[in-house]
A and B are shown apart, each in its own frame.
Chain A
Amino acid sequence: MLTDRILTLITFVPTGGALVVALLPRRGRVVQVFTLLVTLLTFGLSLHLPVHFDYAHHGFQFVENNAWIASPAIRYHLGVDGLSLWLVLLTTFLGPIGVLVSWRAIQTRTKEFYFFFLLQQTAMIGVFVALDMILYYGFWELSLVPMAILIAMCGPSRGRQAAIKFFLYTFLPSALFLVAVLWLYAKTGTFDFVQLQAALASGSLGLSPAALGWASLAFLVAFAVKVPVFPLHGWLPDVIQEAPTAMAMVVAGKLGLYSIFRFNLGLFPEQSRAIAPLMIALGVIGILYGALLALAQTDMRRLIAYSILGNLSFCILGIFCFALTGLNGAVFQTLNEGITGSALLVLVSFLYERYGTYDMSLYGGVAGRLPMLATLYVITALALTGLPLLNGFVGEFLVLSGSFPVHPDWVGVAALGVILSASYMLWMVQRIFYGQPSSLVLNRVSADLNAREHFTLWPMAILMLAMGVLSPYWIRAIDGAMSGLANPASFTASRAVPAPAMRAAVPAALETEKP
């Protein structure tokens, strides 16, 4: 039965593909085509999940739980819930796109590139499906290696430095994270997430609050760096600048945010709430900081990096207000960022393939030359600025509206980011596409999007619209997963008589604790 082993398949088909790639001859486009097929297969398999997912049931599904190592007991425990479901799909969805965007960009060392690319796929999927702390940690760390190597391999100017910077930024905190995990193990005797959750929730361990606080902090820092959260984002611009597009697409956001959802909120509810004020402040600062710095960039990639920082900070804000709507919005925004940010990076890389620079000051008047590319670019930019009926708006709106009752002041400030994001995005569009064609654009005659590029971009564009219009299809699953993490009363009906909708909702929000 497929359902019993589906997660293993989804996770390790790319690995198998990688091994085959290592053996393939370096001839023509053999490697590319094969990798594309593998990623498409993975995506197809992953579609099995939403189809057979039981949206009524909030626990983990498609669970696989086998013994791996006897003592200390480490289990091969996989499973997805409404949260990881979509993240897995996002990852597999970006797989083929990553191949297509690298099609021309990666000319040398293709075998190595696609080998590590597929390895990265496995690592990321594994992070989302692993339910044993050590197994999770395994995938988490593993996800660093191909990334770092590819950055070092493909970085145009300072690849090595960027790779090392990225690796250290993530690896150092995760060492402390491992300490915390081991400590929990010493106290509870299990690495299994579900059992850990139960044990910690039961509160029967008699662990000192201080110790728990430190443990949760170790978790949080490790994840916050990966997101990244405001002061810890030092690696992001360099990496986005140096990494190959296929990697830059996936380097930020989902992994760290997922981990915060799953582990910080799942294992340390009290501690997370204790540190919430700080995180909210950082989130809001991050929103404005990212937007303002994006305003100041002239390099497209760096601009995108900072805009990513801003958009992800929305998620942080939504998470740490612990309002159900805000949490849903945060997850949704995570998906948005994955899709829209990737789309923007892809578009930029297509520009780079044509004009060979990321420096906006050299561009101008491209719209006349590449109308299709310009159109898709504008659509993506609008999605990022949160135009209604596109996905970005739903995420931002849910986050802000959900969090507003909890922290009106902070959220009010955060909403200013809406103005700033529009500013830098439109300015970027104008500098690249509008005005008279620059000398660069005049001298390099280049055709508009070809078939491959259309195939790369349209799925994302369509998804942006679909998620903007049909959000409930995604949120119904997310809602189930988040309802356990949110505060019971998700908004304060301070003065008004609750509308009927609210009365109905309060019990729904109250029914928490789904193991």
Chain B
Amino acid sequence: MPTVRLQISATPAHVRTARLVATAVARRSGVADSALDEIRLAVGEACSRAVSLHEEFAPHEMITVLLEDEGKFVVTVRDLGPVGTESRHTDPLEGFADLPGPDQFLATYSDRMPTGFGLAVIGSLVDDVEIRAAGDGPGTLVRMTWPIGTALT
């Protein structure tokens, strides 16, 4: 059941469309049930990040979510915002180590988590994540991979 390419206009309601599609396709591709909540959350974080970037920088462009399931289940979320809006210090593989701690953001931020928080959630949640500039134009790729079945873990 190879590939699905979903494009959504940059609006919060469609983050739900992306979560729905990613989770449904993951389930049918044979991803373990125990990973589905993780996929739902990670895809939601990646798309929420993309929607905020687009609302600011590219409101009329669509966000792309690519789902592939040959051997592994791979979700790639591509925005068309400027690259590097998160500090390069927010390496998601470092989790929350580089972000302002709770005391700081309680003092500083209101109603939204610091920039980079969504990527840090993804980094803490998903074992196999890659984040890089798309290269062939503006935008960042967030690529997350999960095993299919158990044999491929």
A and B from one complex: no
User: Interface on A for B, CB 8 Å cutoff?
Assistant: none
